[in-house]
Amino acid sequence: MTERLIKCPHCGTTNRLPPPVPGRKPVCGKCKTPLPDGGGPAVVTDNTFSAEVEMSPTPVLLDLWAEWCGPCHMLAPTIDQLSSEMAGRVKVAKLNIDENPGVANRFGVRSIPTLLVLKAGKEVDRLIGVQPKQEIVRRLEKVLAG
C-alpha cells in the first residue's frame, strides 16, 4: 500500500492519503475541503476544455499528444508522475489532438508532444518535444511563483 501526500489547495496543509477507495472522495484533515485525488492526468476534449482548463483554479499543464506519436508515449510516465506529485498545485491534463483538433488549432500546435502551461485558459508557457522532468517542474514552479 502506497500512501500519497497531497497539499490542500485551500489551506496548504499536507495530507497523507491512503490508496483510493471507490466512491470515497478525500478531504483535507484540517479544513475539510475536497482534495484532488491525484488519480492521473485529467482527460480533456474540445468539449470539456472550458470546464477543465479555463475554469481551473490552479494552473494547468496540458499534454497535447497522439496515439501514433512515439515521443508522446516516452513522455507519458513523466506526465503521470507530475499529476500526482503536483496535485493540488497544478492540474495535469492530456488532450489527444487527433480526436480533438479544435484546442490544438486554437493554440497553433504544430508538433507533438507539446506541453502548454495555462492560467485561466491563457497560455503562459510552452514546451515542445520530450523534456526532462526537472525542466517541466522548473517551468511550473516559475509559473506558480509568479
Task: Report H helices in the chain.
Answer: 49, 70-85, 101-106, 133-145
Q: From CA 36, how far away is CA 47, in angstroms rounded?
A: 22
Residues labelled as active-site residues: 69, 72
Could you tell me whether strands 122-128 and 42-43 are parallel, antiparallel, or unpaired per DSSP bridges?
unpaired
Residue 112 CB partners (closer than 8 Å, separation 6+): 64, 65, 66, 69, 71, 72, 97
Contact 104, 97 (CB under 8 A): yes
For residue 76, the SS3 value is: helix
